[in-house]
Amino acid sequence: MRNNRDVILAYSIMLGLIILVGFLQSWSIALSILCLCLISAVMTMGANIQWGYAGLINFGIMGYTALGGLAAVLVSVPPVREAWQVGGLNMILCALLIALMVFSVRFIIKKYKKSNKRNYGIAAVIIVGLIFLRLISGPAIESIEAVNPATTGFLGGMGFPILFSWIVGAFFAGGLAYVIGKIALGLRADYLAIATLLISEIVIAVIKHEDWLSRGVKNVIGLKRPVPYEIDLQNKEWFIDLVARFNQGTLNLITDALEKEQMLKQLVIEGSTVFVKLCFAGLFTAVVIILLIVTQKALYSPWGRMMRAIRDNEEAANAMGKNVVKQHLLIFVLGSAIVGIAGAMMVTYDGLFTPGSYRPMRYTFLIWVMVIVGGSGNNFGAVLGGFAVWFLWIEAAPIALFLINFFTTGLEETNVLRLHLIDSIPYFRFLMMGIGLLLIMRYRPKGILPEKIKQV
Amino acid sequence: MDFINAIVLLLNYIFVPALSYGSQLALGAIFVSLIYGILRFAYFTAGDLMSFGTMFTILFTWYFQSLGISLGVLPTALLAIPFGIMITILYVLVKDKLVFSYYRFKKSPPVMLAMVSIGTMFVTQAIVRIIIGPFDRRFFDGEKFILKANEFKEMTGLNEGLTIKSTQVITLFVTIIVVSILFWFLNKTKTGKSMRAYSDNEDLALLSGIDPKRVVMITWIIAAILATIGGTLYGLDKSFKPFTYFNNMLPIFAAAIVGGIGNPFGAFLGGYVIAFSEILVTYAYRKFFIYLLPESIEPDSLLQLLSTDYKFAVSFSILVVVLLFRPSGIFKGKII
């Protein structure tokens, strides 16, 4: 019971803080913090499944996030017909060739015993395949990228609604995780961390530089939203009525008709951004709740118990006949798929895909801070960690400004040290994150909401 | 003549840059490897520790420059390195006392320590950015080139020029000196031997009366020295930007693992393996073959295996291959 009270208390404090931002700064800011908190929560749930349930370290979160984002682009952008005409066939050929390569390598591995000869065979297949890939794709890529490079220059996507991409993103990320898991899961914990970190860098490099696929650093902008646009809302009768009803009190105070109309217009503009963000927040909350229910069910199912057994004592679990390798792979794929969903959600929310913005600090290490601070192994803890850390990450600047002003009150306004500190406010968030992580790891190593294991 | 031209071309664009880049990576990889061997965790602050040391070296360089002290043709930074090292040593020792020693005492699993090092990574990064800012800084002074392309052409009468930057020579020189001292220390002195013993078998080392505190302290000191020197050399050669240093952590880790983590000599070679493969794979060989082949079969394309954008990806792919086929690294480090 006490645990439940902790959970409720922690979440109410978090919500209270966000509402406080709404009152102090603006509702638009508060809601965007909330939206990103929710997205972070999805990411932390993915990382928590891997780390908290199974003890796998995945420092490749950035890669899966980006892949989810790529899914959003590939699903929602309408196809560029011209590009498909000039290079589509070759690209499909390339995909087939890659499939052929994979299958022949698998065939070799199955058919022949482990030996130097086999390794040479595999290497030969890969090298020959790569040369052919280069020959086929080279001219096609060039002609695809030449199609209207200022606006398209890539193959485009399927033109489906973007919400669909949340599922596709999960599959993309899960697929990548399957491949990586096959390669790297046998490694010891910290090696796995480094390997996944490096592999995620490779994924980002590919997304950044394969312009025909993702437009690369030229970014894809103007992705279609699943929720109404502000501009449309501002012209809708029902929405203006709604805003008017909400603000009746303030509007009634104004007697002048013209002024009243202007006030209403202002309110409608403000209201539309808030409304859009509310819609997003609603969608995201639905995802978070569904995932919470599913993960919570899984945690307390026999499968969850088995995962904990594997985490806490791999040998014993193995001796009991549990297939550790298979379960590790499964959970690696599942967790990554959830991160993929978050990646697609994030691009949906932003309405643009910027491969250049994927940096390990923000998309891998910060998520890890969230998981550890929140409480690994406990889904509510992980979600809370996502909320709290993201909130701090955003609000670090105002807090730092306040602290700097507080501690340097003795100094003059134009003091060099003071000005320098105020200039470097954006970096205080790193300091806060680091110190927060170190403190939590030292004094509350299980996180704010520690994992609780039901004793049966 | 064409043959010599082709060789000079490779020397100029592959060998010389890769050698200096490799040395910088090697210095980083050695200390990552040492920390892994002795403290037994993956030290994620590696890149940022390098930027921390470099930052103080830069600050001292600026201070000396303002005083009018310089080394003539050599960069002033060389004079500032010892001061940078001292502050970095102080920093790592304080960090160890405040943060890492607790977990060591508790015998936490390596994963925990790796996580803690992520915490210190955030803090170090913040300190560097708050003090010097996130921008690109150049702090090189003195003579820039030892051999200019034009001079070389005049000297030899070849078509291809060979440029040797003084930073490249300094890098190589300093690396050779530092690494020889380090290996002499590890292999010949009593302290060095005790460190290696501790790395091989902790319990046995403790039984034979090796003081773990001393071993750990010396490890950190060596790490600080190598980080500062490696970082400063990199900064002199290219430029100093905290974000680049953070990113350099990745090839450094790749080098350490490729060389066999926990094995400093392997890490040293691993640095060159990574640097050479990065540059070899992303170099466009067109000109090289134009010199070598007869005119009739001259290549049209760039003959580049991978575009330079994939520089990082190359080293990581090597790492993945090594992990798959030889998880203990090319030069046999700890068995994973």
Extract the tokens encoding A74. 């590939």
Residue B336 has what pLDDT? 36
Given an 8 Å threshold on Cβ–Cβ distance, is B133 in contact with A194? no
ipTM above 0.90 for this complex = no
Residues A74, A108: one domain?
Answer: no
Residues A70, A104: one domain?
Answer: no
Residue B145 has what pLDDT? 84
User: Which among A120, A155, A190 is the end of a domain?
Assistant: A155
Residues A310, A237: one domain?
Answer: yes
Is pLDDT at B335 greater than 50 in this prediction? no
Is A448 inside any structural domain? Answer: no
Instruction: Please identify among residues 33-62 of chain A the ones whose CB lies closer than 8 Å to any CB of chain B.
Output: 57
Is A453 inside any structural domain? Answer: no
Task: Find the CATH number of the domain harbouring B246.
Answer: 1.10.3470
pLDDT band at B215 (very low <50, low <70, confident <90, very high): very high
CA–CA distances in Å: residue B248 to residues A317, A326, B24, B47, B51: 39, 34, 10, 6, 10
Judge whether A435 is closer than 8 Å to chain B, CB to CB: yes
Q: Give chain A positions within 8 Å (CB) of B253.
A: 194, 197-198
Is B332 inside any structural domain? Answer: no
Residue in A with minimal Cα distance to B43: A190
Residues A100, A238: one domain?
Answer: no
Q: Where is average pLDDT lowest: A274-288, B66-80, B92-106, B286-300?
A: B286-300
- List Cβ neighbours of B276 (8 Å cut-off, separation of 6 or more): B14, B18, B22
Q: Where is average pLDDT lowest: A36-40, B42-46, B91-95, B261-265?
A: B261-265
Residues A186, A150: one domain?
Answer: no
Domain region containing B12 = 2-325
Residues A47, A133: one domain?
Answer: no
Pick from A198, A437, A438: which is nearest to B254 by CB? A198
Residue A263 has what pLDDT? 82
Over residues B179-184, mean pLDDT: 94
Is A333 inside any structural domain? Answer: yes
Is pLDDT at B263 greater than 50 in this prediction? yes
Average pLDDT, chain B: 87
DSSP type of residue B145 = E
Residue A455 has what pLDDT? 56
Interface A-B, measured as beta-carbon pairs within 8 A, has a size of 124
Q: In this structure, what are the phi and psi dihedrals at residue A270, rounded to the nearest 5 degrees?
A: -60, -45
Q: Give residue for tokens 């040492």.
A: B34
A354, A365, A350: which is closest to A429 by C-alpha?
A365
Is A179 inside any structural domain? Answer: yes
Residues A213, A320: one domain?
Answer: yes
Over residues B187-210, mean pLDDT: 89
Whole-number Å distance between alpha carbons of A260 and A265: 9
pLDDT band at B332 (very low <50, low <70, confident <90, very high): low
Over residues B263-276, mean pLDDT: 90
Given an 8 Å threshold on Cβ–Cβ distance, is B320 in contact with A184? yes
Q: In this structure, what are the phi and psi dihedrals at residue B137, rounded to the nearest 5 degrees?
A: -125, 135
pLDDT digits (tens, 9 = 90+) for B104-113: 888 888 888 9
Residue in B with minimal Cα distance to A436: B119
Length of chain A: 456
How is B294-309 classified by DSSP, letter by letter?
-GGG---S--BSS-GG
Residues A99, A210: one domain?
Answer: no
Given an 8 Å threshold on Cβ–Cβ distance, is B111 in contact with A423? no
Given an 8 Å threshold on Cβ–Cβ distance, is B325 in contact with A119? yes
Is A370 inside any structural domain? Answer: yes
Mutation choice for A interface testing from B36, B112, B303, B316 by most A CBs within 10 A: B316
Is pLDDT at B6 greater than 50 in this prediction? yes
Mutation choice for A interface testing from B118, B127, B318, B325 by most A CBs within 10 A: B118
Residues A245, A103: one domain?
Answer: no
Ranges of residues in chain A whose predicted pLDDT is under 50: 1
pLDDT digits (tens, 9 = 90+) for A381-413: 999 999 999 999 988 888 888 888 888 887 777
Residue in B with minimal Cα distance to A205: B310
User: Which among A155, A187, A216 is the end of a domain?
Assistant: A155
Is pLDDT at B291 greater than 90 in this prediction? no
Is A220 inside any structural domain? Answer: yes
How far is C-alpha B314 from the chain's CA centre?
A: 17
Beta bridge partners of B301: none
Is B317 inside any structural domain? Answer: yes
Q: Give chain B positions within 8 Å (CB) of A369.
A: 118-119, 122
Pick from B119, B257, B320: which is nearest to A434 by CB? B119
Residue in B with minimal Cα distance to A195: B320
- List Cβ neighbours of B237 (8 Å cut-off, separation of 6 or more): B20, B21, B24, B165, B167, B168, B171
Is B331 inside any structural domain? Answer: no
Number of domains in chain B: 1
pLDDT band at B50 (very low <50, low <70, confident <90, very high): very high
Neighbours of A302 (CB within 10 A): 8
Is pLDDT at B323 greater than 80 in this prediction? no
Question: What is the nearest CA distance from A232 to chain B, expressed in angstroms?
Answer: 41
Residues A131, A207: one domain?
Answer: no
pLDDT digits (tens, 9 = 90+) for B83-95: 999 999 999 999 9
Instruction: Please identify among residues 148-187 of chain A the ones whose CB lies closer than 8 Å to any CB of chain B.
Output: 183-184, 187
Residue B96 has what pLDDT? 94
Number of domains in chain A: 2
Residue A120 has what pLDDT? 85
Domain region containing A62 = 2-79+156-443
Residues A168, A267: one domain?
Answer: yes
Residue pair B318/B250 in contact (Cβ under 8 Å)? The answer is no
Question: What is the nearest CA distance from B176 to chain A, expressed in angstroms?
Answer: 28
Q: Give chain A positions within 8 Å (CB) of B246.
A: 361
Neighbours of A173 (CB within 10 A): 33
Judge whether B321 is closer than 8 Å to chain A, CB to CB: no
Is A456 inside any structural domain? Answer: no
Given an 8 Å threshold on Cβ–Cβ distance, is B134 in contact with A190? no
Whole-number Å distance between alpha carbons of B120 and A433: 10
Judge whether B83 is closer than 8 Å to chain A, CB to CB: no
pLDDT digits (tens, 9 = 90+) for A332-384: 999 999 999 999 999 999 988 998 899 888 899 999 999 999 888 888 999 99
User: Which among A127, A155, A183 is the end of a domain?
Assistant: A155
Residues A150, A162: one domain?
Answer: no
